[in-house]
Amino acid sequence: MAASRTSSIALAIFLAAGSLAAAEPAPVSLGIGRPASVHEISTRDLTVLPDGTGLPAGKGSAAEGARLYAAQCAACHGDRGEGRGDFAALVGGRGSLASDKPILTVGSYWPYATTVFDYIRRAMPYQGSGELPANDIYALTAWILAENKILKPATVLSEQTLPTVQMPNRKGFEDATSAR
């Protein structure tokens, strides 16, 4: 009978330990903030895929982008996108990837034009990232692509036209992933 009682106690401990391990930990409250609303989460869901999924409505031209670039980007990235100090060049470098000193810019390296939009939307301008309206981001993207001679300067980018832009190094990424 003692063995039976010992077995029962052991089984009870085993079951209790198993249920504790399976239980979700209680959320830790630091006493600050509040849960985000569904609306707040949706306004911060900024994902843009290479095929254009997630692009917001809007449009912008390189001419509009030139004015915005001069006002908000040139101080860091140079007057023509050549880079300045620790801030990356955005223009140039075409044909340099196979050299001993590749120049990684939007025009030489980036595989998708939608990624340019996505990056500007999330990270620029440096002093106020995430604050630009969609039309300004389309215009800046158009200017950068026109400066890299990927688009004609009169091109207007929108959620329909941006995903159709073929970047010079797109095949470089496709070839690298198909070789695996």
Name the fold adopted by 55-170. Answer: Cytochrome Bc1 Complex; Chain D, domain 2 (1.10.760)
Q: What is the pLDDT of residue 180?
A: 47
What are the per-10-residue average pLDDT scores of the chain (180 residues)? 66 64 68 86 82 96 97 96 95 93 94 96 89 96 98 96 96 63
φ, ψ of residue 70 to 5 degrees: the values are: -60, -40
Q: What is the pLDDT of residue 11?
A: 65
Q: What is the pTM of this model?
A: 0.75
For the chain, domain boundaries: 55-170
Q: Where are the beta strands (DSSP E) in the chain?
A: 59-61, 156-158
Which of these, 107, 168, 110, 160, lies nearest to 138 by C-alpha position? 160
Return the ∠ at Cα 76 (arms to 72 and 81), rounded to 5°. Answer: 85
Q: What is the pLDDT of residue 22?
A: 56
Q: What is the pLDDT of residue 178?
A: 52
Determine contact, residues 163/55, Cβ cutoff 8 Å: yes
Chain Cα centroid distance, residue 140: 15
Determine contact, residues 110/167, Cβ cutoff 8 Å: yes
Q: What is the pLDDT of residue 84?
A: 94
Q: Look-up: residue for tokens 């001419």?
A: 63
Q: What is the pLDDT of residue 151?
A: 97
How far is 63 from 140, CA to CA, in rounded Å?
A: 9
